[in-house]
Amino acid sequence: MVRARRQREPLLLITGFTISSAVFEPLLPSYAERFDCISYDNRGSGRSGAPPWPTSMPELAADAARLLDALDVPSAHVLGISMGGMIAQELAIRFPERVRGLVLGATTPGGPRALRPGSRELTALGAAAGGGLRGPGRPWLASWLFSPAFLREQPARARDLLEHFDRHRAPAHGVVAQLWASICHDTLSRLDRIQAPTLVMHGAQDAMAPVGNARLLAERIPDAELAVVPNAGHAYLLERPELSLELLTDWLDRRGPIAAGTANGGLTARAEPLTRALGLPIGACRSAGSLIGLGGQRLKGGRHVAVDRRAA
């Protein structure tokens, strides 16, 4: 866990699938001018432990809440990127009192209604990976993270940024645990429970998570605004850091001071530890329900699904 201590608004940075928080290091100097930045490695990756049993998005969200407890931070702005955005959704749903402004970056609500790269995108990515940046580490990852123009025009910077993705690699069982947590992630039916004002950010040329997912999140979250970062891929925060930070701070300035949400009560609060423990099977059941609903919408000529597909 890394914390840049300043008397600023706290900002919890949640990283993505199997990637350590080292990926945020290029951003910390500029973000620390405004925020008290808190970053950490999710369980199963980086420098955190990788228990030999499965995990789930609800459990990973509870880890984030426990981290805030340990740091004596009652609430924070939360920025989750990619899988970290999935964790941030669960954190906002389960522990709304811990979240001020919510920023969902390059992420998805999951489940069968989420948009995934099509065959054309996968073919293009495969070709780019085969002839892209060469060298040690995982140069093939560049075509999934950055826009083609960035790779073509700034190859040296792309290589430098890739080094942060390659640090503190996750063990095999940690990769498997986070993979299952991602597969069973489906918040579509619960997005209306997010109390926090939300900024949904996405790179316009994201090849890993199509931008239609951002539109779907922004449509379903009650108080959400969509900001598409032009000429940027999945790692838009790193590819266009100045513009990304400007969009975030402008949004916060327009919204004024954002208070944390109201804690869940009643049965929802009492059942949270149980639903967290059963996060994987419950997530699988939600996805099955989403799939049934998707089939029903298609049979009826459902407008919502058609609009999302055109947006992608």
The rounded distance, in Å, linking the Cα atoms of 80 and 283 is 19
Say how far apart CA 176 and CA 199 lie, in whole Å: 30
Q: What whole-number distance in Å separates Cα of residue 134 and Cα of residue 131? A: 8
Positive or negative, the CA dihedral 39, 41, 46, 47 is: positive
Q: Which domains does the chain have, with CATH numbers?
A: 2-311 (3.40.50.1820)
Q: Which of 29-38, 101-110, 271-280, 289-298 has the least mean pLDDT? A: 289-298
Average pLDDT, the chain: 88
Strands of the 224-229 sheet, one edge to the other = 2-4, 35-40, 9-14, 76-81, 99-105, 198-203, 224-229
**pLDDT score recorded for residue 2:** 56
Rounded distance, CA 147 to CA 232, Å? 5
**Confidence at 290, pLDDT banded by 50, 70, 90:** confident
Q: What share of the chain is helix, strand, coil (3-state, %, to 5)?
A: 50, 15, 35
- How would residue 291 be classed by pLDDT, with cut points 50, 70 and 90? confident
Determine the 3-state secondary structure of 179 from DSSP: helix
Note the pLDDT of residue 304: 27
pLDDT at 1 over 70: no
d(CA 137, CA 167): 9
Q: What is the pLDDT of residue 306?
A: 24
Q: At what angle do helices 57-70 and 266-277 cross, to 10 degrees?
A: 110
Task: Say which DSSP state 190 is in.
Answer: G
> Helices 279-299 & 172-183, crossing angle to 10 degrees?
40
% of the chain at pLDDT higher than 90: 77
* pLDDT bracket for residue 38 (50, 70, 90): very high
Instruction: Pick 199 or 300 by higher pLDDT.
Output: 199
Give residue 215's pLDDT: 97
Report the chain's C-alpha Rg in angstroms: 19
Percentage of residues of the chain with pLDDT beyond 70: 84
Residue 168 pLDDT > 50, yes or no? yes
Between 119 and 41, the higher pLDDT residue: 41
CA–CA gap between residue 31 and residue 245 (Å, rounded): 7
Helices 57-70 and 172-183 meet at what angle, rounded to 10? 110
Per-residue pLDDT tens digits for 60-116: 999 999 999 999 999 999 999 999 999 999 999 999 999 999 999 999 999 988 988
What pLDDT sits at residue 136? 53
Tokens read off for 259: 């208070």
Q: In this structure, what token pair is assigned to residue 45? A: 């990756």
pLDDT band at 203 (very low <50, low <70, confident <90, very high): very high
pLDDT band at 298 (very low <50, low <70, confident <90, very high): very low
Whether 179 has a pLDDT exceeding 60, the answer reads yes
- First and final C-alpha spacing in the chain: 36
Is 60 exceeded by the pLDDT of residue 256?
yes
Cα distance between residue 245 and residue 27, in whole Å: 9
Res 5: pLDDT: 47
β-pair type (35-40, 2-4): antiparallel
